[in-house]
């Protein structure tokens, strides 16, 4: 069974590979479309599961509040870019420019999590308190994948 840190890092590595695939393709090719669909779904489910498991635990610690809030705010910014890209013609130059912004912002976010947030979280959250969170994260992420369309519909109604 993986730890929460291993589970999140494995997703990050998968996302880095998808970003590379998307950037290495052009226009609205089938390869780019499929990589984008997978990236879009997986990042949305990942962020929600991460907030509900890892960040909810981190925010309960005094040190963790500011860092958790910062990361959740970045999730919202990334989500906004995901939606903009999803609604833009993939073969347009505007799509590629926006994608490069998303890639930069997302890679910055995940590097910050892995290098700073994980390190501090390990210092302040005892392993006994976070045991089983990797499994919780994976379970929640699977549930979140099923909710993506419903959540998008809810956001359109606001």
pLDDT for residue 155: 55
Alpha-carbon distance 95 to 158, whole Å?
26
- Domain segments of the chain as ranges: 4-157
pLDDT for residue 29: 95
Q: Look at residue 152 and tell me whether its pLDDT is greater than 90.
A: no
Handedness of CA 83, 49, 112, 64 (dihedral sign): positive
* Residues 14/45, Cβ–Cβ less than 8 Å: no
Alpha-carbon distance 125 to 93, whole Å?
45
pLDDT tens column, 120-132: 889 888 889 889 9
pLDDT tens column, 28-40: 999 999 999 999 9
Average pLDDT score over residue span 49-75: 86
Q: Exposed, middle or buried: residue 120 (CB in 10 Å: 0-12, 13-18, 19+)?
A: middle
| DSSP code at position 92 | S
Maximum CA pair distance of the chain?
50
pLDDT tens column, 97-140: 999 999 999 999 999 999 999 998 898 888 898 899 999 999 99
Q: Look at residue 146 and tell me whether its pLDDT is greater than 90.
A: no
């Amino acid at each position: 069974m993986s730890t929460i840190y291993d589970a999140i890092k494995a997703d990050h590595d998968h996302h880095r590979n998808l970003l590379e695939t998307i950037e290495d393709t052009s226009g609205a090719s089938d390869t780019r479309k499929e990589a984008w669909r997978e990236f879009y779904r997986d990042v949305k489910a990942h962020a929600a599961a991460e907030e509900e498991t890892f960040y909810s635990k981190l925010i309960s610690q005094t040190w963790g509040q500011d860092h958790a809030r910062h990361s959740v705010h970045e999730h919202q910014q990334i989500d906004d870019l995901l939606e903009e890209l999803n609604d833009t013609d993939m073969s347009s130059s505007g799509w590629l420019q926006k994608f490069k912004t998303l890639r930069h912002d997302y890679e910055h976010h995940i590097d910050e999590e892995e290098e700073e947030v994980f390190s501090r979280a390990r210092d302040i959250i005892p392993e006994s308190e976070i045991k089983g969170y990797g499994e919780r994260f994976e379970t929640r992420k699977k549930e979140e994948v099923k909710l993506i369309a419903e959540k998008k519909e809810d956001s359109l109604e606001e």
